[in-house]
Copies of this chain bind each other. A is one copy, B any other.
């Protein structure tokens, strides 16, 4: 299938696979799509090592990187910044999280280094640009910004290296802003998607963004995890699809097995949009965590970046305890996932998932073509 997106990205199939797992990224690119590494959780050194590894795996095939960089970075020493942010968190919020973890008897000592502040320093200041500089040392086919307007540094580096720049959007207004900044590819992400997402469904959002975007290609994201859904996205006018959640049922995905098992047991109504992890509404699996934040007397979630500063250590403790089968941690355990989780049946290699989606999409397009060709 040739579309404006396959031409722009130099790929065989208009299937773009976003994942924080390098093994998934390499597999999607090897399958003829484009793997895109979510770099947010990496330090610059880690990102460098992962991109080197991916380059070795894909045999010259293209891949991309997705970062999460604020449009305006905050100047100054990241450690001072974080201390000043921490001081803004109300005591009642800290107490609520402490009591919630105590109620579920989550151990304090996880035996693992916690990486909250490293990660947040990447978000908050010069760390973000360091990630970008590392990324552009590798042969990228795409750089994407996951949230908010594409930052100047990304636009500049993209232009210098001839790398197309993509942006995720959840509304026509955001699409218009990104088009004005000159991005090369828009990803229209519907409310059914995992992670940060708006309220407008893919079925409605995609044709609106396609109409706005004119010559700029649009990928559809949210609700796309099968060949039929990829075919539907193309019928909506998308030049391809951006899939994220589906890789969480791949063998290569680095998400702990305990979370993957919760995903396999979930149905399509088991998710919710909640700001209780990042401070912005993000779709995730509903768990006892969300029930607690919705219970009477719970404090309102704080804005980004205060809410992650408040809860990230808690999540490190929950994840670590869940990994050793702690019952309370398994009740609280959750992760970002879209509504497509309802059809997760078993784990498979990411390469097989990618080739299966493309094969089934082509078959479905032939079926619907028969409706109009006598």
User: Interface of A with B (CB < 8 Å)?
Assistant: 1-3, 171-173, 190-192, 198-205, 207-208, 222-224, 226, 228-229, 231-237, 267-269, 272, 338-340, 342-343, 362, 364-366, 368-369, 371-373
Pair B236/A232 contact, Cβ less than 8 Å: yes
- 3 shortest A-B CB distances, which residue pairs? A369-B369, A203-B223, A192-B201
Asked whether B204 lies within 8 Å of A192 as measured between CB atoms, the reply is: yes
| A236: chain B residues within 8 A (beta carbon) | 228-229, 231-232
Shortest distance between the CB of A6 and any CB in chain B (Å): 10
Give 30 pairs: A residue, B residue, CB < 8 Å, sorted on A.
A1-B372, A172-B342, A173-B267, A173-B269, A192-B200, A192-B201, A200-B268, A200-B269, A200-B342, A201-B201, A201-B203, A201-B222, A201-B223, A201-B339, A203-B203, A203-B222, A203-B223, A203-B229, A207-B226, A207-B343, A208-B268, A208-B342, A232-B232, A232-B235, A232-B236, A234-B368, A235-B365, A368-B369, A369-B369, A369-B373
Q: Chain B contacts of A224 at CB under 8 A?
A: 203
Distance to closest chain B CB from A170 (angstroms): 9
CA distance A369 to B234 in the complex (A): 10
Compute how far the CA of A225 lies from the CA of B1 in the bound complex, rounded to whole angstroms.
27
- Residues of chain B contacted by A191 (CB below 8 angstroms): 191, 201
Q: How far is the CB of A71 from the nearest CB of chain B, in Å? A: 21
| Residue in A172, A204, A229 with the greatest tally of chain B CB atoms within 10 Å | A204
Q: Are A268 and B229 in contact (CB under 8 A)?
A: no
The answer on a CB contact under 8 Å between B369 and A366 is yes
Cβ–Cβ contact B368 & A372, under 8 A = no
In the complex, chain B residues whose CB is within 8 Å of the CB of A1: 371-372
Collect the chain B residues with CB atoms within 8 Å of residue A269's CB: 171, 173, 198-200
- With both beta carbons as reference points, the residue of chain B lying nearest to A341 in the complex is identified as B204
The minimal Cβ–Cβ distance linking A65 to chain B, given in whole angstroms, is 27
Residue from B2, B204, B372 within 8 A of A268 (CB atoms): B204
Contact partners of A369 in chain B: CB under 8 A: 365-366, 368-369, 372-373
Across the interface, name the chain B residue whose C-beta is closest to A231: B235
- Pick from B205, B232, B343, B366: contact of A372, CB under 8 Å: B366
Q: How far is the CA of A131 from the CA of B204 in the complex (A)?
A: 35
Bound Cα distance from A204 to B232, whole angstroms: 11
- Given A208-B343, A232-B235, A268-B208, the answer on whether A190 and B198 have CB atoms closer than 8 Å is no
Q: Which residues of chain B are within 8 angstroms of A232 by Cβ–Cβ distance? A: 203, 232-233, 235-236
Contact A365 B368 (CB under 8 A): yes
Residues of B within 8 A of A201 (CB): 190-192, 201-203, 222-223, 339
Minimum CB–CB distance for A269 against chain B, Å? 6
Chain B residue with the shortest CB-CB distance to A237: B228
| B229→A371 contact, CB < 8 A | no
Closest CB in chain B relative to A296 CB, distance in Å = 11
| Closest Cβ–Cβ distance, residue A96 to chain B (whole Å) | 20
Bound CA span A205–B269, Å: 10
Q: Which residues of B contact A207 (CB under 8 A)?
A: 226, 228-229, 343
Which residues from chain B contact A234 at a C-beta distance below 8 Å? Answer: 235, 368, 371
Inter-chain CA distance A201–B236, complex, in Å, is 15
B residues in contact with A208, CB < 8 Å: 268, 342-343
Could you tell me the distance between the alpha carbons of A191 and B342 in the complex, rounded to whole angstroms?
Answer: 15
